Amino acid sequence: MSAIDSYRLDGKCALVTGASRGIGHATALWLKELGAEVFGTATTEGGAEAISESLGAGCGLVLNVTDGEAIAATVAEVSGQAGPIAILVNNAAITRDQLLMRMKDEDWDDVLDTNLRGAMRVTRACLRGMLKARFGRIIGISSVVGYAGNPGQANYCAAKAGLAGFSRAVAHELGARGITANVIAPGFIDTDMTRALDETQRDRLKGTIPLGRLGEPSDIAACVGFLAGPGGAYITGQTVHVNGGMYMT
């Protein structure tokens, strides 16, 4: 295999959840650049249209990952247009930050339902096609805080740690069928999710990062591309930490 070929994704169909912004958007564009036929989802019609403008007509879809029927319809739509989904990036997620003392059941349930159960449901819906093709790359976007913990994010940390455990179980179950499952644990990446922090918080954060900057969405997209491609074929059940060194295992 040539060096370039170890990254190429030609002929592969990819689905990225939460591709309207941030990491998901950068990832969808990068997988397309590598040659995949990429579909991305947003929760709104406007978001889906914007995705179609950057990925191609019909490639932006509306999906709420808490809706099981919508997941089935999305997977059917993508498979109908481009064949079985070979690369799945479970990226969609939300935060509902609150100290545990004050956390409502609803804050817990919303985050677990979207970030963990959503990923499980989309993965399960893609399995039939992957099993038939005897090929699959399932990549979950976890988080550094799923490992290090973070005050005010008990729900989000639990979901992100859960996604890694889920992925390891899937890696065990499906490795023999040519399907890999991994998670990437980003550190702090410059997206809408972290733009909620004020300047002082961002400066304090940068001081904890050996590389001295927040990550860019493209830093995560590059790692997704590698895990999805031929060069990543022998990696499964792993967490890849992409965090500028802020947390070292």
| Residue positions annotated with a catalytic role | 156
- Using the rule CB under 6 A, is 208 a contact of ligand NAP? no
The neighbour count for residue 115, using CB atoms within 10 Å, is 27
> Which residue stretch of 6-14, 21-29, 122-130, 234-242 sits at the interface with ligand NAP (rule: CB under 6 A)?
21-29
Out of 191, 227, 241, 244, the only residue in the binding site for ligand NAP (CB under 6 A) is 191
Torsional sign, CA 74, 77, 79, 85: negative
Q: Between residue 150 and residue 189, which ones bind ligand NAP under the rule CB under 6 A?
A: 186, 188-189
Closer to ligand NAP by CB, 112 or 131: give it: 112
Per-residue contact flags (x/-) with ligand NAP for residues 42 to 71, judged by CB under 6 A: xxx--x---------------xxxx-----
Helix (H) or strand (E) holding 128, with range, is: helix 118-133
From the centroid of its chain, how far is CA 96? 18
The answer to whether the CB of 90 falls within 8 A of the CB of 138 is yes
Among 7, 8, 28, which residue's Cα sits nearest to residue 16? Answer: 28
How many other β-carbons are positioned within 10 Å of the β-carbon of residue 216? 14
Size of the site for ligand NAP (CB under 6 A): 30
Q: Find the binding residues for ligand NAP in span 122-141 (CB under 6 A).
A: 141
Tell the smallest beta-carbon distance from residue 145 to ligand NAP (Å): 7
- What span, in angstroms and rounded, lies between the C-alpha atoms of 93 and 28? 16
- The residues binding ligand NAP (CB under 6 A) are 17-18, 20-24, 41-44, 47, 63-66, 91-94, 114, 141, 143, 186, 188-189, 191-194
